[in-house]
């Protein structure tokens, strides 16, 4: 299991897709005759920015309450309530990650996941999605942009010494603002 995790992390860095299999929960006659597959394979690619944004929106919609063990709240009851309230959000997040394009994922994908995904598969798929989202790179970009913005705001020192860049098009020359 450890070796698979390391390999999937390497695949993520190389922006390769990672296969994920979901077995049909209740195969019907068409599955038994071999006309339909009993297992569906999804390829999870690194999540695009538009999908990350949509996943973030959906996660903000999650309802939850803080469980405080000291108050005597039943943690099992709180867990069941959370499952009931957030079931659709989880399915939506997984469908958005698999679809990985701008726009809504197909309803058939959402229905398939809802009808066939076990809790173990959902956990593994969610861990894979988090790995493929790699939001640390996005956050690093935001920090870099902010740093450049801060540096740009403080670069008025050249004008205070009486010099400005020449905009006439000749490279490497400066024009003085104090011409007499």
Q: What residue segments make up the domains of the chain, in order of their start?
A: 2-65+74-137
Do 97 and 45 touch, CB atoms closer than 8 A? no
Q: Is 7 left (phi over 0), alpha (psi -120 to 50) or beta?
A: alpha
The pTM score is 0.62
What's the pLDDT band for 170 if we cut at 50, 70, 90? very low
Diameter of the chain measured on Cα atoms = 94
Instruction: List pLDDT tens digits, range 16-46.
Output: 777 788 877 777 777 677 777 777 888 888 8
Backbone angles phi, psi at 30, to 5 degrees: -65, -35
The Cα 112–Cα 93 span in angstroms is 14
Instruction: List pLDDT tens digits, range 143-162.
Output: 888 777 777 765 554 444 44
The SS3 call for residue 49 is: helix
User: Mean pLDDT over all residues of the chain?
Assistant: 74
Using CA atoms, how far residue 101 sits from 3, 18, 105, 108, in Å, is 30, 17, 8, 16
Q: Which residue has better confidence, 2 or 45?
A: 45
């Amino acid at each position: 299991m450890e070796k698979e995790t390391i390999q999937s992390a390497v695949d993520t860095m190389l922006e390769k897709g990672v296969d994920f299999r979901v077995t049909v929960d209740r195969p019907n006659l068409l599955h038994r005759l071999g006309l339909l597959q009993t297992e569906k394979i999804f390829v999870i690619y690194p999540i695009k920015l538009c999908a990350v944004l949509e996943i973030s929106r959906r996660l903000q919609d999650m309802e939850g309450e803080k469980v405080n063990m000291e108050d005597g709240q039943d943690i099992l009851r709180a867990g069941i309530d959370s499952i009931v309230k957030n079931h659709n959000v989880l399915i939506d997040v997984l469908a958005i990650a698999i679809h990985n394009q701008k726009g809504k994922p197909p309803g058939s994908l959402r229905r398939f996941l809802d009808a066939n995904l076990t809790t173990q598969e959902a956990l593994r798929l969610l861990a894979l999605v988090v790995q493929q989202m790699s939001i640390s790179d996005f956050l690093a970009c935001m920090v870099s942009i902010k740093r450049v913005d801060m540096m740009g705001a403080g670069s008025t020192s050249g004008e205070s010494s009486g010099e400005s860049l020449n905009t006439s098009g000749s490279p490497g020359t400066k024009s003085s603002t104090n011409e007499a």
